[in-house]
Structure 1
Amino acid sequence: MAQAPGDIEALIALMARLPGLGPRSARRAVLHMLKKRAVVMDPLAQALAKVAATARDCTVCGNISDHDLCPICADPRRATGSVCVVEDVSDLWAMERAGGFKGRYHVLGGTLSALDSVGPDSLRIPQLVHRVEEEGVTEVILALNATVEGQTTAHYIAEALAPSGVEVSALAQGVPMGGELDYLDDGTIAAALAARRRL
């Protein structure tokens, strides 16, 4: 089997690391980009370079932005009394697509996992407790994936926030056990948010 030049093989190997792309899909994507260099590859390379240079975590919620504050945290119209806690930025984006939440977010950066040595200080849990104390938050909605790790993290957060007296609720109907927010449709997420329950 003929091999592509070294630089192209390196690009294929990098592309194959992306979620949803294996070696064959990566090879097809790279060949497509090479055929459409002017309209696909060059703009993609420029966009990648720009995002690599400007992307950063929002200093308040942990969302990805090109400024210190993401557009959600910078928007004065977003309700400041409620904070929706999500595992990752992809979950935040899924919640925003559903359009049912008008408050602000807090991205944990993962879930508690003893097997992976991920403890509370490895996540943005201390920052969440600080936000609740400093920002006058009245409700924390735990929109964590319905996995063992997600539920363990939810219970830990509920206990950590108990002394503050803040109301803590969680997504309810529509989110199946083992389900991940990024893979759910918008209607399911909206229904789960509307039917959240107190922990």
Structure 2
Amino acid sequence: MASQEIEQLASTLARLPGLGPRSARRAVLWLVKKRDTALPALLEALEGVQDRLVECDTCGNVDTQNPCGICADPRRDRKSICVVEDVADLWALDRARLFTGRYHVLGGKLSALDGVRPEDLNIANLLGRVEEGGIDEVVLAMNATLEGQTTSHYIAERLEEFPVRITQLAHGLPVGGELDYLDEGTLAQALRARRPVQ
């Protein structure tokens, strides 16, 4: 049986996404074994983030500076905004290094069941950014869920009054996906979004 402090650390780690109790215990054991090198580095990193973490006033990204590194980067295309549900989506898209514009984090998605209304999301700030001018395209990069698509539709309607091109991510077959493993909704979307072979 481990001490109360070690059990508390394991319990705390187990609350992190992707870590269950067993994985958390393995992480704690690794930290205990490497306590002279790994533990101080982890503590220093956590303290640094805790002290400096801020939400970007422009886009809603989480960073250690405001505006965030993406919004402050002069190499980014200022004429396009990619709208995402949350910061994890922004980070995933930015890791791909395919979108060179800026982002906008909504902080969730519309959901009647969960009581999430448009005013609960960061939509007004998005409309303000577009209204300021200089934006040519808004990419709606919501998840392919009912709530995500409802959110996309709502935002697209709100953006109709502005002279911007509104696009959305393509949905359908994943690269390397096999047809017999895909659900009917994904297959239906892939068929609807088919295009000529080039």
Could you tell me how far 1:136 is from its partner in structure 2?
2.1
- The ranges of structure 1 where at least 4 consecutive aligned residues each deviate by more than 4 angstroms after the TM superposition are 173-176
| Residue number in structure 1 paired with 2:117 | 119
The answer as to whether partners of 1:139 and 1:169 remain within 8 angstroms in 2 is: yes
Letter of the 1:111 counterpart: K
Aligned to 1:165: 163
Instruction: Decide which of 144, 147, 154 is 1:146's aligned counterpart.
Output: 144
Superposed, which structure 2 residues align to 1:19-168 within 5 Å?
Answer: 19-168=17-166
Tell whether the 8 Å contact from 2:81 to 2:101 is kept in structure 1 after alignment.
yes
**Would you say the 8 A contact 1:146–1:175 is kept in 2?**
no
Alpha-carbon separation, structure 1, partners of 2:38 and 2:150? 43
Match of 1:186 in 2: none
- Hey, what does 1:179 align to over in structure 2? none
Q: TM-score, normalised by structure 2?
A: 0.84
| Deviation string, structure 1 residues 95-135 (Cα, Å, up to 9, x no partner) | 11211111111011111111111111111111000000014
1:25, 1:135 → 2: CA distance?
Answer: 49
**Alpha-carbon separation, structure 2, partners of 1:174 and 1:99:** 21
Deviation at 1:75, TM superposition (A): 1.2
Please give the secondary structure, in 2, of the residue aligned with 1:164.
Answer: coil
Alignment CA distance shift 1:14-1:135 (3 Å): farther
- The one-letter amino acid of 1:71's match is G
Which is greater in Rg?
2
Indicate how the Cα distance of structure 1 residues 61 and 175 shifts in structure 2: closer, same or farther if over 3 A, else same: farther
Q: Cα gap change, 1:173/1:116 in structure 2, threshold over 3 Å: closer, same or farther?
A: closer
For the Cα contact (< 8 Å) 2:144–2:171, is it kept in 1? Answer: no
Identity of aligned residues (%): 57
Alignment gaps of 5+ in structure 1 = 177-194
- Partner residue, 2:189: none
TM-score in terms of structure 1 length: 0.84
Separation in 1, partners of 2:126, 2:53:
22
Q: Is the 8 A contact 2:81 2:139 kept in 1?
A: yes
Residue equivalent to 1:189:
none
Unpaired segments ≥5 residues, structure 2:
175-192, 194-198
Deviations 1:147-199 (A, max 9, x none): 111100000100111112321110114566xxxxxxxxxxxxxxxxxx9xxxx
CA distance in 1, matches of 2:4, 2:170: 51
Q: RCO greater where, 1 or 2, for CA within 8 Å and sep 6 or more? A: 1
